[in-house]
């Protein structure tokens, strides 16, 4: 029973990783036909349609080459030990104009370590590209919220750069909580706890990215006058439209 659970988790891990790689490679996909409630996703590999469970990125370097040879990617696969024929590593580097990172994984075969590196890289790549899409759209909104010169402050680069915007949110009468995996804004003067919960930014696995996402979201609400603006004198409080 324990062995079956272990194998099932291993299969699910492979399917999740293979699905992520297929997305990165923009593999054509659709639901199998005829379309029913039980139809599964199929991918076009070469001239054949392959079910998601039959993707084999985790078993073959040939399948992985499109990732390993993608623009900006360099990699090295080698054996870690002269005495252990099943001790391999993969070191993958990625560099672009906007961001870079390095990944290293260990395992018992070249295909295994390359797959692990590819999955780690692709998941990170998706997160970073989503982030830059937010930055391109978000920095101007924070500039407007802060009354800052457009493009002068790189709000996305550090929590230190972002701190003035966070302090302004607090100064408007809101509690800001920033933790490893989430950034939240609460209206402590709102008695209804549901309405008091203004923003919960937890899309990323990085403290700065979530804090940035939170500030952009608040700036949007502020511009649209959808948040209260509190004053020390409660009688001067402006209600959202």
Instruction: Kindly report, residue by residue over 104-130, the tens digit of the pLDDT.
Output: 999 999 999 999 999 999 999 988 887
Residue 24: phi, psi to the nearest 5? -60, -40
Task: Tell me the pLDDT tens digit for each residue of 193-210.
Answer: 878 889 998 877 789 989
Pick from 18, 14, 16, 24: nearest CA to 126: 24
pTM: 0.65
Q: Are residues 111 and 61 in contact, defined by beta-carbon separation less than 8 angstroms?
A: yes
Task: Tell me the pLDDT tens digit for each residue of 125-180.
Answer: 988 887 788 788 999 999 999 999 999 999 999 999 999 999 999 999 999 999 87
């Amino acid at each position: 029973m324990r062995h079956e659970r272990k194998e099932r988790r291993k299969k699910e891990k492979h399917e999740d990783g293979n699905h992520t790689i297929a997305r990165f490679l923009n593999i054509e996909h659709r639901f199998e036909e005829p379309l029913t409630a039980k139809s599964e996703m199929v991918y076009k590999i070469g001239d054949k349609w392959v079910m998601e469970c039959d993707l084999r990125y985790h078993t073959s370097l040939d399948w992985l080459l499109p990732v390993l040879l993608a623009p900006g990617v360099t990699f090295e696969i080698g054996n870690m030990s002269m005495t252990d024929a099943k001790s391999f590593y993969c070191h993958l580097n990625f560099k672009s104009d906007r961001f870079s990172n390095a990944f290293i994984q260990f395992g018992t075969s070249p295909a295994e370590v390359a797959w692990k590196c590819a999955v780690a890289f692709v998941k990170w790549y998706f997160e970073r590209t989503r982030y830059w899409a937010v930055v391109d759209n978000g920095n101007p909104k924070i500039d407007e919220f802060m009354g800052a010169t457009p493009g002068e402050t790189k709000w996305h680069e550090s929590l230190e750069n972002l701190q003035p915007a966070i302090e302004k949110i607090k100064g408007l009468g809101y509690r800001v909580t920033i933790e490893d995996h989430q950034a939240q804004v609460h209206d402590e003067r709102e008695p209804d706890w549901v309405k008091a919960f203004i923003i919960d930014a937890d899309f990323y696995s990085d403290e700065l990215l979530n804090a940035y996402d939170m500030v952009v979201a608040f700036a949007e609400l502020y511009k649209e006058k959808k948040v209260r603006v509190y004053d020390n004198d409660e009688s001067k409080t402006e209600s959202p439209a």
